[in-house]
Amino acid sequence: MTKEIVIAARAGRTKIAIVEDGSLVELHLADADHKRTVGDIFLGRIDRVVASIPAAFVNIGKDQNAFLHFTDLDRNLPLLLAYSKKAAPNLRAHQPEIPPPTPGGKVAAIRRTEKAKVFKLLAKGQRILVQVTKEPISGKGMRVSARLSLAGRFLVLLPWANFVAISRKVKPQKERRRLRTLIRQLQPKGFGIIVRTVAKGKDRQALKKDLELLLKRWRQMEEKIAAVRKVPACVHTDVGMVASIMRDVFSSDYDRILVDDPRLHRNIQRYVHAVAPHLEHTVKLHTNKRPVFEATGLQKDVDIVFGKTVQVPSGGYLIFEQTEAMHVVDVNSGNARPAASVEAEQHALNINVAAARMVARQVRLRDLGGIIVVDFISMRGAQHRRLVFEALKEGFKADRTATSVHPMSDNCLIEITRQRTRPSLTAKGNEPSAGGAHPAASTTPEDLVASMEAWLQAQRRSTTGKLTVHVHPFTAAYLKRGACSLWLQWQVRYKVRIQLKESTKVGIMAFQFAWSGTQPKPKPKAAAQPLRHVLRSKASAT
């Protein structure tokens, strides 16, 4: 199996694609204005304690208070609260008495029977260190946890713990015993350590170096806490999206890392040289004039991710719908007709199995979370329903996000629950839709400008003529403001005449476009054409 990471860092945003055997399996987007916050640690102040939920709301300096549920607390809560009060904390110099670990080896979560005791410890106005586990989604604020941890390349450091845990994916037992022995020799007092899967086969020096780096980061956090003059404050910022992908995903079985930005290419080269010098040759700089996602043929898969309908290779199609409570996927047979020798039941099974694999792939690509309900084509046989269920489970085996697939009901419905740490890609409105318009929901002016510029950058070499952009009057005013407006900058930068046409029929956070003058040049097959039916309709109208 060939595995690649493709990174496009242009037009104020970064797109990261994880590719296996030429197929896109994961897509991550990062904007300059929407930075990743999962993993950040805040010194916050408890604003409200609601025992009936039971949860506490913590002011961490954001627009909404963060949500701290009692299941995100453990029995070391008294140590955490005492540590948060200190003006100059130093865990390694002043080690508290840590409760012994449970028989399973880890610090136990607080049970429901103990919640009354816990909420006597929490009080309004109290200082507390919390770590972000979920970004704001819809109208909900961040979710935070009082179980702090710092993740490195090979190890995860946990304060107020005294255990060593090994990833379940590390096998055989001989390797697990070797790693446990090594880490116990290196383990500092006052900290627990989790050994990650990528640590398999690593020597003592590599593990020691990673542990020293984590301890250094912990000490830097303590210094920030000592310098805090006003609570709330951010005392630790986790690595960005690109660095987290390199830390969590990259391993020796990757054949290539392709980057289109020279500065980012140098940074990744330095990182790979530090952690795996023998893989430095896999980091490549994309020098082709065509955008990297188009040159690699990935853009067409990206366009599908932001569409509502997805074709199934063996026939039929999927329709993705989002409601307030869940995501719904409908499996349709479409115009697919069974062969004369194939029964209707077998035909439904064939489409459902192919659709199950496609659903698993699209859920990962779109980063859907929460409850997902899939409505398959009706089948009478229990054995057939079981085959579809197994195909769906198999499709999620490679998913790095915690996912649970429930058996198919008699009505051929399958419920999927998937951990949600950030809004899904389709909820962000970050990419052009097939119609060339952008939804207004959860889109900012900066998002809109970045999307328009990304489209211009992708199309400027494959199409000629004058560009007409239909926008709302308010959007037109935003693009034309200032002596050196965005509108003028784009015409100079991309060497194209751009005419802004104002229309109240276009949403404020949307745009529609068409080329006029000379006809578009034929596009290569690998190039993305997400807006072809819009251009065709405009050409026919003229």
β-partners of residue 140 are 137
* Closest C-alpha among 188, 241, 204 to residue 37: 241
Distance CA 115, CA 258 (A): 50
Question: CB–CB of 131/56 below 8 Å?
Answer: no
d(CA 264, CA 40): 22
Closest residue by Cα to residue 10 from 455, 480, 525, 489: 455
Residue 540: its pLDDT value, please? Answer: 44
Q: Which helix (H) or strand (E) holds 541?
A: helix 532-541
What are the respective helix, strand and coil percentages of the chain, to the nearest 5?
35, 25, 40
Give the domains, in start order, of the chain with CATH numbers.
Answer: 3-35+240-299 (3.30.420.40), 41-236 (no CATH), 308-425 (no CATH), 431-541 (3.30.2320)
Query: Does the pTM exceed 0.75?
Result: no
Q: How far is CA 278 from the centre of its chain?
A: 28
- What backbone torsions phi and psi does residue 476 show, to the nearest 5 degrees? -60, -40
CA of 268: how far to CAs of 295, 391, 508, in Å? 21, 37, 38
**Residue 399 burial class via C-beta count within 10 angstroms: exposed 0-12, middle 13-18, buried 19 and up:** middle
116: number of CA atoms within 13 Å, CB side?
1
Half-sphere exposure of 52 (CA within 13 A, CB side): 0
What is the predicted pLDDT for the residue at 253? 84
3-class SS string, 158-203: EECCCCEEECCCCCCHHHHHHHHHHHHHHCCCCEEEEECHHHCCCC
What pairing do the DSSP bridges indicate for beta strands 233-236 and 191-195? unpaired
Helix, strand, or coil (residue 155): strand
Backbone phi and psi for residue 152, each to the nearest 5 degrees, phi listed first: -115, -170
- What does the pLDDT profile of the chain (542 residues) look like in tens digits? 789 999 998 766 788 999 988 889 999 887 765 677 889 999 999 999 988 888 999 999 998 999 999 889 888 889 999 999 998 898 888 877 776 666 555 666 677 677 677 778 899 999 999 999 998 876 778 999 999 999 999 999 999 988 899 998 898 999 999 999 999 999 998 899 999 998 999 999 999 999 999 999 999 999 999 999 999 999 999 878 888 888 888 888 899 999 999 999 999 999 888 878 888 999 999 998 888 988 898 888 888 887 788 888 877 889 999 887 789 999 998 766 666 556 888 889 999 999 999 999 999 998 898 899 999 999 988 999 999 999 999 999 988 888 999 999 999 999 999 988 777 776 554 454 333 443 333 346 666 777 777 667 655 555 556 778 888 888 888 888 887 888 888 888 777 888 888 887 777 767 776 655 444 444 444 433 333 343 344 344 44
Please name every residue paired with 192 in a beta bridge, in sequence order, or none if there are none.
Answer: 158
CB 424 within 8 A of CB 401: no
pLDDT at 277: 85
Residue with tokens 């409570």: 325
SS3 520: coil
Helix (H, G, I), strand (E, B) or coil at 349: helix
Cα(65)–Cα(46) distance, integer angstroms:
9
Which amino acid type is present at position 191? F
Residues 297/291, Cβ–Cβ less than 8 Å: no
**Residues 517, 464: Cα–Cα separation, whole Å:** 8
